[in-house]
């Protein structure tokens, strides 16, 4: 969700895989990356051209002149291109996305028309946490840290009789967090628009997850975004994390092109990691 999966990021990898003296005809296909988030502004729509396999072409250019329409069951919206971020399209309004509602994305590029459909996942079930606050000693030396006994993992549980898929996005939301590990400097600022610590889990259809506190790097407030996902996201995640000996194409649900159009529905929890001096 991580590392959020962005198809544009695999273009350099594909370029390296096909860097050879073999002759190929130029192959250009539009790549769509579009995510719907319930209750959030739609600004996660990106268009690019697929890398060309021809010897003299680079490919991977952002597409800035497309006409994109988002169609719901009772309404539709025309997306606007963001001139400051080539290839990004957005809506000024927040669309009303309800669980179970179907949406279709239509992309017109010249004479080409691409389309994809998705369904808004169900609201995530309520999550129980074994603890909302944990206390970890603040030590000054790495040897003390290595020998320190950590509190038990934080257990998150929820009902999942239909074995639906979810992932967790764990973010430290402090602007100047204090490091748990002694070596890094304290009060390291978060990069602009990002988090100093973020961990996104792989999709799971279990009904539990354990947060190992040794995975965390900083004290302070951690926001845990618990997200329902569709199967197309799971297919994409698995295809991008396949064995390196395989060269299968990433999953795509875009007709007449490549890419992903899917939706997320989430709830938010919080965990406090408190230093003990």
Q: What is the pLDDT of residues 26-46, one digit of tens each?
A: 557 899 999 999 999 999 999
Which of the four pLDDT bands, split at 50, 70 and 90, describes residue 186? low
Q: What is the pLDDT of residues 245-267, one digit of tens each?
A: 555 678 999 999 999 999 999 99
Amino acid 51: pLDDT: 52
Supply φ then ψ for residue 207, to 5 degrees.
-120, 25
Provide mean pLDDT across the span 153-164: 98
Residue 185: alpha-carbon gap to chain centroid: 28
**The domain defined by 128-228+266-276 carries CATH number 1.10.10:** no
Which sequence spans correspond to the domains of the chain?
7-122+230-264, 128-228+266-276
Residues paired with 199 in a beta bridge: 170
Structure tokens at 69: 């329409």
Q: What is the pLDDT of residues 193-250, one digit of tens each?
A: 678 999 999 999 999 999 999 999 999 999 999 999 999 999 999 988 766 555 567 8
Cα gap 115→238, rounded to integer Å: 22
Helix, coil or strand: residue 276: strand
Cα gap 57→17, rounded to integer Å: 15
Scanning the structure block, which residue is given the tokens 């669980």?
Answer: 99
Amino acid 71: pLDDT: 97
Which of the four pLDDT bands, split at 50, 70 and 90, describes residue 190? low
Which of the four pLDDT bands, split at 50, 70 and 90, describes residue 47? very high
Asked if residue 161 lies in contact with residue 192, where contact means CB atoms within 8 angstroms, the answer is no
């Amino acid at each position: 969700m991580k590392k959020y999966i962005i198809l544009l990021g695999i273009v350099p990898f594909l370029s390296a895989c096909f860097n050879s003296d073999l002759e190929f005809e130029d192959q250009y296909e539009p790549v769509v990356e579009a995510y719907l988030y319930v209750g959030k502004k739609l600004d996660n729509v990106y268009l690019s051209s697929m890398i060309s396999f021809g010897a003299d072409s680079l490919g991977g250019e952002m597409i800035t002149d497309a006409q994109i329409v988002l169609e719901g069951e009772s309404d539709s919206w025309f997306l606007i291109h963001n001139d400051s971020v080539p290839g990004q399209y957005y809506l000024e309004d927040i669309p009303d996305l309800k669980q179970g509602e179907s949406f279709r994305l239509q992309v017109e590029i010249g004479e080409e028309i691409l389309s994809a459909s998705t369904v808004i996942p169900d609201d995530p079930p309520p999550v129980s946490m074994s603890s909302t606050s944990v206390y970890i000693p603040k030590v000054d030396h790495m040897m003390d840290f290595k020998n320190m006994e950590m509190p038990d993992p934080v257990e998150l549980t929820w009902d999942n009789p239909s074995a639906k898929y979810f992932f967790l996005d764990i973010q430290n939301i402090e602007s100047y967090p204090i490091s748990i590990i002694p070596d890094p400097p304290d009060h390291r600022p978060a990069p602009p628009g990002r988090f100093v610590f973020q961990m996104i889990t792989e999709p799971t259809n279990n009904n539990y997850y354990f947060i190992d506190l040794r995975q965390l790097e900083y004290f302070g407030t951690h926001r845990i975004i618990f997200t329902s996902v569709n199967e197309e996201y799971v297919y994409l995640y698995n295809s991008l994390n396949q064995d390196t000996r395989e060269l299968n194409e990433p999953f795509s649900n875009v007709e007449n092109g490549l890419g992903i159009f899917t939706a997320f529905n989430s709830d938010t929890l919080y965990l406090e990691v408190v230093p003990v001096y």
